[in-house]
Structure 1
Amino acid sequence: MNSFTKQQIQDYNRDGYLLVPEFCSRKETDTLYRVAIEDEAMRTNAMDLNDQSGKKTRLSLWFKPGNDVFGYLTRSRKMVQSVAALLDGDSPVCHFHSKLMQKEPKVGGAWEWHQDYGYWYKNQFMFPDQLLSVMVALTPATKENGCLQVIKGSHKLGRVNHGFAGEQVGADQVMVDNALKTMELVYCELQPGDALFFHSNLLHRSAANLSDKPRWSIISCFNSQSNLAYNETSTAWKEPIEQVPDEAILEWEAASLSEADFLKKENDPALKNTGWEADVQVRKDG
């Protein structure tokens, strides 16, 4: 895979997202999922974030992509070249952070409507067109287990004000409701190995996992080196990715994630109250 076609890039720019089936092979996905389950560092560094109903979503978040299997995925040629084709400008691609999302059966919480840039605005990144996320499904993502929902084309709204929804940050519900009247709601159902590329201003959410099946995914967030962040203490966001060949995911010896620089919940600027969140109406019905 050498990148995207002209049509795929146009689709991403129009819709704010692009779904790529079988971005990772079955063998690659099985390896990633096995490590996600078995790696002790992934478990011990997981954070619980409560939604408004009190249900929990567990996530482990780290910054610098290393020589572990997830680092090989985010540093792979197919990933870096694909991201480069979609980010605005031609600066080198940097890795902001990756997170393992763990929505367990029956107890996995919801994510309220938000834009990633609603969080990253607090990190004071300057240019939202130079930030995007890539979700790779490790297990099936369906309507039943709370797959990602997006509002097609909503990245063109620009940044929407955000307030707190439980321990999460949620978009102004008035604007969300207006967007839902105007644009199409899409359920992004994914099979293991499918990848969803999406713009930092795309409005998205996911429902609680009330099914009897887990929903696990890896989400890697990328930044152009030209996009400065003035309130971010990590440094990966400004360091060009050291690419590795795609076969590294399966063929190279992989280190443990114990070497990763995991985020501590208390150090996340997006979860700190700046005062203006109180003026934002976020849905209160869960």
Structure 2
Amino acid sequence: MAKINLNEEQIEAYHRDGFLVVKNLFSQEEIDKLYNSAIENSIMQKNAMDLNDQTGKKTKLSLWFTPGNDVFGYLIRSERMINSVAQLLGQESAVCHFHTKLMQKEPKVGGAWEWHQDYGYWYKNQFLFPDQMMSVMIALTSANKENGCLQIIKGSHKLGRVNHGFAGEQVGADMTMVNNALETMDLIYCEIEPGDALFFHSNLMHRSEANLSDKPRWSLISCYNLQSNLAYAETSTSWRIPVDIVPDHAITEWNATPFGNADFLKKEDDPALKTTGWEKDVKTN
């Protein structure tokens, strides 16, 4: 696969809209390898967390910090991924990997994800600069309206950080601000296919509906941080270690180690899920 270089129009669109879709960033062969590894990986499933939405439906995710020499790590560290992130975040300092989530929305039971900004969570980790952080969603299965694809409010990253409180077991944005944003900006349904990548700003407002279809919706969401962006309340270390980049062909051609002793996040250790007082007054309903 040819080396990916984003053009000026794509970079401008990301900064203007808060997101960018890149079609076919990864091939079907690469995605098949990722998806098969994900569904067969007992360690991944053992370390999955269930988070209830406001209706009690469950969203299941596995989250780990340090990318290894497994097939997931090769994708996270691939040249095309890191090169794209570096172009969008700027070249002020090295790109570091904060964490990656495997999102597993099973047919009929996969829960909704409430309106939020990623920095609504990461603010609790005391990262200083939201402009130096971003998420990249890689579709492992088709994502569409029927199975609860990501919804975004175009341009909402320019609102800055919005107050967040609890919505079920999730952290959700103040719905007064969300509704104001929806009155002012465009709501976009990000329907993407396996191998497509959705890059989005840490302050972009987004949500997803429950998966009420008869097909699963699985995706990988890798979150990146520039080394210059310090976190004063984050116990993991990957966020400050420059990514050890691997060539793009590593995903399909290199031998991958078993996905073993990854540093998974436990629900009780997540600072974003701990109430400090002010969150109780935020309107999330």
Alignment of 1:102-113 (within 5 A): 102-113=104-115
Give the structure 2 partner of residue 129 of structure 1: 131
Residues 105-136 of structure 1 show CA distances to partners (whole Å, capped at 9, x for unaligned) of 00000000000000000000000000000000
Give the structure 2 partner of residue 9 of structure 1: 11
Give the structure 1 partner of residue 172 of structure 2: 170
Give the structure 1 partner of residue 86 of structure 2: 84
Give the structure 1 partner of residue 191 of structure 2: 189
Give the structure 1 partner of residue 239 of structure 2: 237
Question: Which consecutive unaligned segments of at least 5 residues does structure 1 have?
Answer: none
Counterpart Cα distance in 1 of 2:51 and 2:280: 19
SS in 2 for 1:27: helix
Code of the aligned partner of 1:39: N
Give the structure 2 partner of residue 256 of structure 1: 258
Give the structure 1 partner of residue 38 of structure 2: 36
Equivalent of residue 147 in structure 1, options 141, 146, 149 = 149
Normalized against structure 2, the TM-score is what?
0.98
Equivalent of residue 26 in structure 1, options 25, 28, 32 = 28
Residues 226-253 of structure 1 show CA distances to partners (whole Å, capped at 9, x for unaligned) of 0000000000000000000000000111
Counterpart Cα distance in 1 of 2:88 and 2:203: 14
Asked if the contact 1:89/1:130 (under 8 Å) is kept, the reply is no
Counterpart Cα distance in 1 of 2:124 and 2:217: 28
Q: Which moved more, 1:249-258 or 1:110-119?
A: 249-258
Give the structure 1 partner of residue 228 of structure 2: 226
Give the structure 2 partner of residue 58 of structure 1: 60
SS in 1 for 2:228: coil
Aligned-pair CA distance for 1:258: 1.5
Question: Which consecutive unaligned segments of at least 5 residues does structure 2 have?
Answer: none
Give the structure 1 partner of residue 121 of structure 2: 119
Asked if the contact 1:139/1:217 (under 8 Å) is kept, the reply is yes
Aligned-pair CA distance for 1:88: 4.2
Tell me the C-alpha RMSD between the 2 structures: 0.7
Code of the aligned partner of 1:120: W
Normalized against structure 1, the TM-score is what?
0.98
Counterpart Cα distance in 1 of 2:234 and 2:144: 34
Aligned residues with identical type, % of pairs: 71
Code of the aligned partner of 1:212: D
Residues 210-239 of structure 1 show CA distances to partners (whole Å, capped at 9, x for unaligned) of 111100000000000000000000000000
Number of aligned pairs? 283
Aligned-pair CA distance for 1:40: 1.3
SS in 2 for 1:258: coil
Aligned-pair CA distance for 1:161: 0.2
Give the structure 2 partner of residue 156 of structure 1: 158
Aligned-pair CA distance for 1:89: 4.7
Aligned-pair CA distance for 1:2: 3.5
Q: Which moved more, 1:252-261 or 1:10-19?
A: 252-261
Asked if the contact 1:88/1:129 (under 8 Å) is kept, the reply is no
Counterpart Cα distance in 2 of 1:59 and 1:167: 13
CA 1:33–1:193 in 2, change beyond 3 Å: closer, same or farther? same
Give the structure 2 partner of residue 46 of structure 1: 48
Code of the aligned partner of 1:21: K
SS in 1 for 2:125: coil
Code of the aligned partner of 1:60: S
SS in 2 for 1:118: helix
